[in-house]
Amino acid sequence: MILEEREYRLVPGSTGRYLDAWQRLGRVPQTRHLGEPVGVYTVEIGDLNTLIYLWRFTDLADRADRRWALADDAEFAVFRREVRGLLVSQSNRILLPAPQMAVGSGR
């Protein structure tokens, strides 16, 4: 099991607009392909205007397959167009469970 941490830096003051668009347009296609997120977080102290998603995958191949399917989803493309001007930057990283500390399994 791996976790993907995706971090989005947003235009200052646009977090509410982004999350509203995600609820209306992005959540259904994303969860259809990726499953429910482990968590969706905003930053309160530190780099403000930052949104973090945590997604669970079986392994890197599972992640690649599901991300490709999401990228091809026409419904998700509508969401991407809606929020395009709200993003300043995006980064991601893959988290592996520490030895002897596995957190759950599968989707």
**Calpha distance 37→16 (Å, rounded):** 18
Query: What are the pLDDT tens digits along the chain (107 aa)?
Result: 999 999 999 999 999 999 999 999 999 999 999 999 999 999 999 999 999 999 999 999 999 999 999 999 999 999 999 999 999 999 999 999 888 775 554 45
Q: Is 102 part of any domain?
A: no
Residue 67: domain span:
2-90
Q: What is the pLDDT of residue 99?
A: 84
Domain count, the chain: 1
Q: Is 26 part of any domain?
A: yes
Q: Is 58 part of any domain?
A: yes
The pair phi, psi for residue 5, each rounded to 5°, is: -100, 115
This prediction has a pTM of 0.88
Q: Is 96 part of any domain?
A: no
CATH number for position 64: 3.30.70.100
Q: Is 99 part of any domain?
A: no
